[in-house]
Amino acid sequence: MEELIKEVFAQYGSAYYFSECLYTQLCIMYALGRFQSKRDITRPRVEEKLSFALSLTLGSLAEGIKDIVPEELYSDLDAAVRKRNFIAHHFWFERAHLMFSVDGLEGMRDELISYALFFKTLDNKLERAFLPVMRKLGISDDMVQKSFAACVAGKPMDPLPKKRKLNKQEQIIYAYNIAGSKGGSPLSYKHGMENCGSCVTLDWDGQPIMNLNQIGL
């Protein structure tokens, strides 16, 4: 039974790992999915959106990108949230009594394998669905593979910048008009201390990008 117990713990790690892979895919979709063209992308904008996405729970993130995800995957997304929450918060409490028999351990192992397969399959579906957006933004398979190879090789990556939360009142010290990809004229404001260099785009082509209370500077 000892080897079977070890396998249960290993399969739990696998299931949780693939749920985190799915979470990361949703964060990427949140960060990039609403850009209309690669001309609209700047590193600070992507960092801002990615930082915010990574601050969300899986449930909040799934709800926040349903306008990007194909409708036929809505039910799978909802199921992923339930399964991930069960694994993270309830699995051991509700299944621990099964660890005293071979049948119980085998059932736990098989259940965890099914969770891992579900998360992995959904992650692949979302990746394929998001591929046209990646292409539109100029992100090629070669770029992705080079980034992946750098991660595997242990190459250090720049951390996302830590930014403070907005105060209830901020002093605007500069305002700019920037041409949008559709010819619009958004208003960007620099605020706070003059030497801090913080800049928030409030509006782009007539569409609000993000509420101020969602942005950390």
Per-residue pLDDT, 217: 39
- What is the tens place of the pLDDT at every residue in 30-89? 999 988 888 888 888 888 899 999 999 999 999 989 888 989 999 999 999 999 999 999
Side chain identity, residue 173? I
Per-residue pLDDT, 6: 95
Is the confidence at residue 4, as pLDDT, over 80?
A: yes
Q: Kindly report the pTM of this predicted structure.
A: 0.73
**Pick from 74-78, 95-99, 164-168, 201-205: least confident:** 201-205
Per-residue pLDDT, 210: 43
The radius of gyration computed from the CA coordinates of the chain, to the nearest angstrom, equals 21
Per-residue pLDDT, 132: 92
- What is the tens place of the pLDDT at every residue in 82-135? 999 999 999 999 999 999 999 999 999 999 999 999 999 999 999 999 999 999
How many CA atoms are closer than 13 Å to the CA of 84, on its beta-carbon side?
Answer: 24
Let me know: does 70 contact 129? Beta carbons within 8 Å. Answer: yes
Confidence of residue 198 (pLDDT cuts 50, 70, 90): very low
Side chain identity, residue 38? K
Measured distance CA(87)–CA(133) in Å, rounded = 31
SS3 197: coil
- Residue 28's closest CA among 83, 68, 77, 78? 68
- Residue 112's closest CA among 23, 22, 5? 5
Side chain identity, residue 169? Q
How many CA atoms are closer than 13 Å to the CA of 89, on its beta-carbon side?
Answer: 6
- Residue 7's closest CA among 105, 97, 118? 105
**Domain ranges within the chain, ordered by starting residue:** 2-152, 172-214
* Helices marked H in 41-197: 43-54, 58-64, 74-89, 91-95, 102-136, 141-152
Query: CB neighbours of 181 closer than 8 A, spacing ≥ 6?
Result: 36, 37, 39, 40, 205
The span from the first CA to the last CA of the chain, in angstroms, equals: 53
Per-residue pLDDT, 148: 83
Exposed/middle/buried for 48, CB within 10 Å: 0-12, 13-18, 19+?
buried
**Pick from 49-53, 128-132, 144-148, 155-159: least confident:** 155-159
Q: What angle do CA 124, 78, 58 make, to 5 degrees?
A: 75
Is the confidence at residue 203, as pLDDT, over 60?
A: no
Measured distance CA(201)–CA(189) in Å, rounded = 7
